[in-house]
A and B are shown apart, each in its own frame.
Chain A
Amino acid sequence: MFELSFTARTVLAGATLLGIVGGALGSFALLRRQSLLGDALAHAALPGVCLGYFLTGSKSPLPLFLGALAAGIVGSLTILAIVRYTRLKEDTAIGIVLSVFFGVGIVLLTHIQKLPSGNQSGLDKFLFGQAATLMPRDVNAMAVLGGVVLVLVLLFFKELRVLAFDPDFGASLGFPMRRLEVFLTTLLVTVVVVGLQTVGVVLIVATLITPAAAARQWTERLGVMVLLSAAIGGFSGAAGAVISAGWARLPTGPVIVLVASAILLVSLLFAPQRGLLWAWLRERAVARRIRRENLLKDLYRWGEQAGDRWQEPVSPPLVMGFRGQTRNQLAGVARRLDRQGLVHWDDAGIRLTGEGLERARSIVRKHRLWELYLTRRLDLREDHVHRDAEAMEHALSDANADRLDALLGYPEADPHGRVIPRPATTSPRVA
């Protein structure tokens, strides 16, 4: 159904290639916390493009490309040198190089466009990228350079891993970490320069960082992350190219970035383990469990005060008063406990079932054991231990509660003189 024109197919190939290589390499930049380095390198390449044009007077890609590469490398070495020889920190060095080089680049670009021949030069496409100007020979060059970069990443994967994780340890093993750093930076410069025509100086950093950040959400393995990041980058590039081909007035580079950003957003929200949604759900589950356990405990204590009549029904308004809950809050908690068979809720009120009583005993036991532990072992005053125990009763595992019980010598009462209950399921007392 979609017939892509020859130009569109060229753009598709170029954008996909760029996405794959940028994604793979971007993982290392991201893990070294050098996300902004790529941005600085891209901006630093601009004066190189202009100088390439000045020196040769031609707009054929090779001199412009070499100019960009040279300027990018000078920019990156400047950053490394500033960090090494001055007391400025890396973020400052990146900011300085980015702005100085970009400033020079804009001055040169403006100058060129005022020249009689200059307004035809088309150099401004390097600012925001203009993928439609990609020629098959450009894509071929991208394929060769990108391929070289990928092969180098593969060959030096082990060394790049130690550079990203623990450079001091790598140095102690005898790997020349500074040279590896320059090596990685040179690869970054290459990718940035390769992508300038497609995505442009201003947005190219997104092809490095965004796929890597998205990939990080889904995996805990470096190799998988690099592969996934390359896949996300490649997909974003392809999707961006196709979308911008379908809607004539959409620029390719920004659309690529938007596709990658959408994938990142989904990853940030929905990735298992690291996703915000799951973190929120986990937190909510814990909060709900604590509310349920508190209700069981409150019913137990009420029954205790009424002379150990733990399974008497208690009227809902009374239970609401225990913790200042609204009727709806209480109903939510109690209904869930009812479904779990831990309380029974009918017209007479809410009461603990047999199983619920067991659970309540276990919670109260943890609370009182912990209070006793704090007063006996840590010499805290009795009136200072309740809040701490409120938290521990939900956190302490049954096994640790048993150990605590044994450690304290299976005490009868807590510091306030209240009986420490023991569920029937608790491991038998060992003398």
Chain B
Amino acid sequence: MSSVSEPQVAAESSPAEVVPAIEVHDLTVAYWTQPVLWDVDLTLPEGKLIAIVGPNGAGKSTLLRSILGLVQPITGWVEIFGKPYEKRRSWVGYVPQRESVDWDFPTSALDVVTMGLYGSLGWLRRPGKKERATALSCLDKVGIAHLAGRQISQLSGGQQQRVFLARALAQDARLYLMDEPFAGVDATTERAILALLQELRATGRTVVAVHHDLQTVAEYFDHVVLLNMRLVADGPIATTFTDENLQRTYGGRLTVLSQAAESLLRAESGAPKLDV
């Protein structure tokens, strides 16, 4: 009889009940007639450091932006912990590419980090003492609390990246989406960022980061998504980050497919009105 109870115990923690951090279903995104993501299906587990890897123009940033609802897909949907993004906004922190903003903007590092709290403040309420204290503690976590008052153009590239990370920390999210957090930073910052990601993982957070340096993928991350317009492979580093999969991601064998996809899209929409 004892053998009967065992499957029941197993059933309670069966995979069906584990809600993934991110589920992407049938996602197709195009900028005008140029497809960027083609029919991507993806399930990403919670509590891991996950790298999105692929050649230039593979749609890595677009995938991140689609998950955040910044890009409207042609088909498909995305769910964060089982719900659409609009319902999970407060669970998600975002670190955009550093080049995406004007660093000559008249604002201090602390002001930028405080923006991470705007979501929880909501409309009209202004950040006060409490918010500034929170923001300062986030700057401290990335090791640049002493630069809080510094105008952001006076920071080095690595320090600017830390400011963006601190802003995401201020969001106090369960899931972090980061667009090339390691791009163009010095070695010290790279180590600091890595330590931060590991700390986030240790506290049960999930981090999905677009990553460009193939040398460090296996060392820094647990899980990898190989992308080249289509999903090539995804899974744990050990089984997925293989030479063969990399060859398929970077080897240019997808040319025929991308051409086919493009002509299909052109045929479908003569005068496309895409929300991009």
How far apart sit A165 and B151, CA to CA, in the bound complex (Å)? 14
Contacts known (A172-B68, A172-B70); A165 close to B102, Cβ less than 8 A = yes
Report the minimum CB–CB distance from A40 to chain B (whole Å).
22
Report chain A residues within 8 Å CB of B101. 165-166
Provide the residues of chain B in CB contact with A157, threshold 8 Å.
126
Q: Is the CB of A174 within 8 A of B106?
A: no
Are A164's CB and B105's CB within 8 A? yes
Q: Which of A140-148, A214-222, A293-301, A413-421 forms part of the interface with chain B?
A: A214-222
Choose the segment among B42-50, B114-122, B200-208, B262-270 that binds chain A (4+ C-beta atoms closer than 8 Å). B114-122
Annotate A210-229 by CB proximity to B: 1 below 8 A, 0 otherwise: 00000010011110110000
Q: Which stretch of B88-96, B212-220, B236-244 is in the interface?
A: B88-96
A1 lies within 8 A of chain B by Cβ:
no
User: Smallest Cβ distance from B54 to chain A, in angstroms?
Assistant: 21
**Closest CB-CB distance, A136 to chain B, in whole Å?**
34
Number of B interface residues in the complex (CB < 8 A): 33
Chain A residues with CB below 8 A from B119, complex form: 173-175
Expressed in whole angstroms, the minimum distance between the Cβ of B174 and any Cβ of chain A is 14
Which among B65, B101, B275 has the highest number of chain A CB atoms within 10 Å?
A: B101
A237-251 CB mask vs B (1 if < 8 Å, else 0) is: 000000000000000
Q: For A169, what are the chain B residues with a Cβ–Cβ distance below 8 Å? A: 94, 96, 115, 167
**In the complex, what's the smallest C-beta–C-beta distance from A8 to chain B, in angstroms?**
36
Query: A161 — which chain B residues lie within 8 A by C-beta?
Result: 107, 111, 115
The reply to whether B118 and A31 form a contact with Cβ atoms under 8 Å apart is no
- In the complex the two chains form, is A171's CB within 8 Å of B124's CB? no
For residue B112, give the distance in angstroms from its CB to the closest CB of chain A: 7
Asked, given contacts A31-B106, A165-B115, A166-B115, whether A155 binds B94 with beta carbons under 8 Å apart, the answer is no
Most-contacted residue by chain A among B65, B106, B121 (CB, 10 A): B106
B67 nearest CB neighbor, chain A only:
A172
Please state if A162 and B105 are interface contacts (CB–CB under 8 Å): no
Residue of B nearest to A33 (CB): B102
Does residue B86 face the partner (Cβ distance < 8 Å to A)? Answer: yes
**A170 near B: Cβ within 8 Å?**
yes
The reply on A85 being an interface residue by CB < 8 A is yes
B100 at the interface (CB under 8 A from A): yes
A172 and B106 within 8 A (CB)? no
Q: Does A339 contact B (CB under 8 A)?
A: no
In the complex, per-residue mask of A73-104: 1 if CB is within 8 Å of any chain B CB, else 0: 00000000000110100000000000000000
**Main SS of chain A's interface residues?**
helix
Contact of A172 among B32, B89, B111, B127 (CB under 8 A): B89
Q: Is A158 an interface residue (CB 8 A)?
A: yes
Q: Do residues A156 and B124 form an inter-chain contact, with CB atoms below 8 A?
A: yes
For A170, list chain B residues within 8 Å (CB).
Answer: 118
Number of residues of chain A lying within 8 A (CB) of chain B = 30
Alpha-carbon gap, A165 to B94, bound state (A):
15
Best-buried of B32, B119, B126, B273 by chain A (most CB within 10 Å): B119
| Residue pair A158, B118 in contact (C-beta under 8 Å) | yes
Interface assignment of B143: CB less than 8 Å from any CB of chain A: no
Is residue A168 contacting chain B, with contact meaning CB distance below 8 A? yes
Least Cβ–Cβ distance between B273 and chain A, in angstroms: 6
B99 CB, min distance to chain A CBs, angstroms: 12
Select one of B107, B118, B167 contacting A222, CB under 8 A. Answer: B107
Q: Among A161, A169, A175, find the residue whose CB has the most chain B CB atoms closer than 10 A.
A: A169
Q: Which of the residues A156, A158, A225 comes within 8 Å of B106, measured between beta carbons?
A: A225
CA of A197 to CA of B162, assembled, Å: 49
Say yes or no for A159: interface residue by CB 8 A criterion.
Answer: yes
Which residues of the other chain, B, contact A165 by a CB distance below 8 angstroms? 101-102, 105, 107, 112, 115
Which of the residues B108, B112, B115, B124 comes within 8 Å of A221, measured between beta carbons?
A: B108
Q: How far is the CA of A31 from the CA of B100 in the complex (A)?
A: 14
A224-B111 Cα distance, complex, nearest whole Å? 13
Assembly CA distance A171 to B106 (angstroms) = 21
Instruction: Collect the chain B residues with CB atoms within 8 Å of residue A174's CB.
Output: 86, 89, 119
Which residue of B has the minimal Cβ distance to A166? B101
| A330: min CB distance to chain B, Å | 37
Per the bound structure, the CA–CA distance linking A162 and B94 in Å amounts to 14
User: Interface code A190-216, partner B: CB below 8 Å = 1, 0 otherwise?
Assistant: 000000000000000000000000001
From residue 19 to 71 of chain A, which have CB atoms closer than 8 A to chain B? Answer: 31, 33
Asked whether B69 is an interface residue with its Cβ less than 8 Å from the other chain, the reply is yes
CA distance A157 to B114 in the complex (A): 13
Question: How far is it, in angstroms, between the C-alpha of A173 and the C-alpha of B92 when the chains are bound?
Answer: 9
Please determine whether A168 and B108 come into contact, CB atoms closer than 8 angstroms.
no
Measured CA separation A173–B127 after assembly (Å)? 15
If the complex has contacts A168-B96, A174-B89, are A222 and B126 also in contact, measured as CB distance less than 8 A? Answer: no
In the complex, which residues of chain B have a beta carbon less than 8 angstroms from the beta carbon of A31?
102, 105-106
Query: Is A158 a contact of B70 with CB atoms below 8 Å?
Result: no
B100 and A166 within 8 A (CB): yes
A173-B89, A175-B119 given; 5 more Cβ-contact pairs under 8 Å: A31-B105, A85-B273, A161-B115, A216-B106, A222-B111
Report which A residues bind B (CB closer than 8 A): 31, 33, 84-85, 87, 155-159, 161-162, 164-166, 168-175, 216, 219-222, 224-225
Closest 3 CB pairs of A and B: A173-B119, A220-B151, A172-B94
13 residue pairs of the A-B complex, CB under 8 angstroms, read: A156-B124, A157-B126, A158-B121, A158-B126, A159-B123, A165-B105, A165-B112, A165-B115, A166-B100, A168-B70, A168-B94, A170-B118, A173-B89
